[in-house]
């Protein structure tokens, strides 16, 4: 597992990696900004400009206060949303990253199966929703976990990321059904490798690079398992 991660890290400055990284980071930022705009627009639509309270009278500026509060909440939430959004975006560039790894380290491999766009979209959307739902549900648990919150964060996201990357990488070579079966067979390894990748996800900027490293790392892991 560590060998696979170090090999992926050693290729991070590969020209093809850089291209995927720049596009992925750009799309991730655009999606987060769009999500923030939608939330702020929804708050502005839901919250009235003024309300009239008994014995107090009209109170104005509520829409502005709601917008400011919503913006602050979205800035904090972006730390957690960065994980599923970046992972979902990078899922669309999986083929390029995995192909770059295989061309460099496994040149004798035959061409991989071309994954239909609908298949990539379905898997990326499923992983995105699972990561979103899991991290939103875990927000309350993080508060009560106290000093164990980082351990809980790494455990939950390690499983989800390991499942996502292993399945997506394996599907290129063996199809969806076999990929799922391989993941179940090597669940512990996949979970540990996912946890290794989940640990730096709370660090800004670095969490944008991790999806590329994740795909590259699991490409190495899959090839080692198949051999």
Position 64 pLDDT exceeds 70: no
Measure the CA–CA gap between 174 and 186, rounded to whole angstroms.
15
Residue 146 structure tokens: 């106290």
Measure the CA–CA gap between 82 and 202, rounded to whole angstroms.
9
Angle between helices 15-46 and 94-105 (to 10 degrees): 160
154 pLDDT band (50/70/90 cuts)?
confident
67 pLDDT band (50/70/90 cuts)?
low
Nearest to 9 by CA among 209, 226, 189: 209
Kindly report, residue by residue over 163-188, the tens digit of the pLDDT: 888 988 898 888 888 988 999 999 99
Q: What is residue 196's predicted lDDT score, i.e. its pLDDT?
A: 86
Position 151 pLDDT exceeds 60: yes
Among the residue ranges 68-72, 138-142, 223-227, the one predicted with the least confidence is 68-72
The secondary structure of 64-126 as a DSSP string is: HHHHHHHHHHHHHHHHHHHHHHHHHHHHTTHHHHHHHHHHHH-TTSPPPPPPPHHHHHHHHHH
Q: What is residue 219's predicted lDDT score, i.e. its pLDDT?
A: 92
Residue 131 vs residues 30, 95, 163: alpha-carbon distances, Å: 19, 21, 11
Among the residue ranges 14-28, 60-74, 120-134, the one predicted with the least confidence is 60-74
Residue scoring higher pLDDT (105 or 13): 105
How many structural domains compose the chain?
A: 1
220 pLDDT band (50/70/90 cuts)?
very high
Residue in the block written with tokens 């939103």: 136
Average pLDDT over residues 18-38: 79
214 pLDDT band (50/70/90 cuts)?
confident
- In which domain, by residue range, is 158 found? 2-226
Q: Which DSSP state fits 56?
A: T
Residue 128 vs residues 22, 42, 124, 162, 219: alpha-carbon distances, Å: 20, 22, 6, 13, 20
**3-state SS, residue 54:** coil
58 pLDDT band (50/70/90 cuts)?
low
């Amino acid at each position: 597992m560590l060998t696979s991660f170090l090999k992926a890290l050693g290729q991070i400055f590969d020209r093809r990696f850089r291209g995927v990284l720049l596009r992925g980071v750009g799309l991730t930022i655009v999606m987060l900004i769009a999500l923030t705009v939608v939330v702020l627009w929804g708050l502005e639509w839901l919250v009235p400009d003024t309300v009239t309270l008994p014995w107090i009278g009209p109170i104005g500026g509520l829409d502005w206060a709601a917008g400011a509060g919503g913006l602050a909440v979205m800035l904090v939430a972006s730390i957690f949303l960065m994980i599923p959004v970046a992972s979902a975006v990078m899922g669309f560039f999986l083929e390029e990253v995995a192909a770059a790894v295989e061309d460099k380290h496994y040149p004798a491999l035959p061409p991989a199966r071309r994954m239909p766009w609908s298949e990539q979209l379905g898997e990326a959307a499923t992983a995105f929703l699972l990561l979103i739902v899991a991290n939103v549900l875990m927000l309350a648990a993080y508060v009560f976990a106290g000093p164990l919150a980082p351990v809980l964060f790494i455990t939950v996201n390690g499983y989800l990321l390991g499942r996502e990357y292993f399945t997506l990488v394996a599907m290129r070579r063996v199809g969806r059904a076999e990929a799922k079966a391989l993941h179940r067979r090597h669940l512990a390894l996949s979970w540990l490798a996912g946890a290794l990748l989940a640990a730096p996800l709370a660090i800004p900027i670095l969490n944008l690079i991790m999806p590329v490293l994740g795909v590259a790392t699991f490409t190495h892991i899959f090839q080692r398992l198949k051999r």
